[in-house]
Amino acid sequence: MEDYPRTLEEFEARFADEEACRRYLFALRWPEGFRCPRCGGLQARPGSRGLLRCSQCDYQASVIAGTIFQDTRLPLTIWFRAIWRVTSQKNGTSALGLQRVLGLGSYRTAWTLLHKLRRAMVRPGRERLRGRVEIDETYVGGEEEGARGRQTRDKALVAIAAEEDGAGIGRIRMKRITQASKPQLHAFLEEAVEPSSIVHTDGWESYVGMESLGYRHEYDFVAGSGQTASALLPRVHRVASLLKRWLLGTHQGSVSREHLDYYLDEFTFRFNRRRSRHRGKLFYRLVEQAVSVGPAPYGEIVRRPRRGRPQHMG
């Protein structure tokens, strides 16, 4: 049963205090009821400061321990408003925008909060794409289009996969890669696409050989076809241009290459749910994933950008 606010009014009435937010987190974290993290006991009584005490072993359990909310200095009401803002706005929000709207004391607080939320935008163990899938790479950042296979300083290379859904686009996956090499593109393919799917690419040599991984491969050479790359692979090109517009529009292009993966996660989260009838459903999903993903301390966010993320987080 998915329980979420439908409107801003409903949201504000429902999540007016810490206790209301905690109750919501509790229901999402322990949908079958309380379960003690230490002894597995199923009974708890309320303790101090919003904690729960296990009736069996007296362990003090917290609904936010082990989640992205762990060790936060911000009230949950602020977190919830941030999540509502991020999910109810079509394009999300920048750190500066969030700082202003929530009246946060510093830009860094808003920036960190958004990055913690992005950690929750990828569902662990999510399914791979299937059916017919287009794959291509694109450069993000910088002014001019770069030549393929050549590393440039200010641009990041992003691999994009997009399911065909009739003439339209189904779900997408994206990943930053350092070069359009066979090992990297094949690794992305295996992370993003279910074997036995039909994969449609251009004639770039790094895509050759994917049949040995269990895929069916269709490719078109742009040169000599009389068509542009975007006409041959219209879905990935559409996604690439939406991504670039979003990075420039919502984030003013101020995304460092080190953190780009997390922005790709946010874009993907939003894109794959673009047909949700209620924005509240995105709110629900994000809170749900926020209590199932581990904490990400500020130091880790700043110093240890993700590289070669493991498949189940990708």
Residues within the interface to Zn ion (CB under 5 A): 36, 38-39, 41, 54, 56-57, 59
CB of 67 to Zn ion, least distance (A): 18
Q: Are strands 156-165 and 168-177 parallel, antiparallel or unpaired?
A: antiparallel
String of DSSP letters for 136-157: EEEEESSSSPPPTT---SS-EE
In DSSP terms, which residues pair with 133 in a beta bridge?
Answer: 163, 199
CB of 31 to Zn ion, least distance (A): 19
Question: 119: how many CB neighbours lie within 10 A of its CB?
Answer: 20
Closer to Zn ion by Cβ: residue 56 or 272: 56
Closer to Zn ion by Cβ: residue 36 or 156: 36
CB of 208 to Zn ion, least distance (A): 56
Contacts of 223 (CB under 8 A, 6+ apart): 203
Rounded CA gap, 300 and 176, in Å?
Answer: 19
Closer to Zn ion by Cβ: residue 36 or 233: 36
Closer to Zn ion by Cβ: residue 37 or 249: 37
CB of 45 to Zn ion, least distance (A): 12
Task: Lay out the sheet containing 60-61: strands in order across.
Answer: 44-46, 52-54, 60-61
Closer to Zn ion by Cβ: residue 54 or 135: 54
Question: What does residue 99 show for φ and ψ, rounded to 5 degrees?
Answer: -55, -45
Closer to Zn ion by Cβ: residue 34 or 246: 34
CB of 36 to Zn ion, least distance (A): 3
Q: Using the CB atoms, write b or e for 146-167: b if 16+ within 10 Å.
A: eeeeeeeeebbbbbbbbbbeee
Closer to Zn ion by Cβ: residue 66 or 97: 66
Q: Which tokens go with 192?
A: 């993003």
CB of 39 to Zn ion, least distance (A): 3
Question: What does residue 103 show for φ and ψ, rounded to 5 degrees?
Answer: 65, 35
Rounded CA gap, 262 and 258, in Å?
Answer: 9
CB of 292 to Zn ion, least distance (A): 20
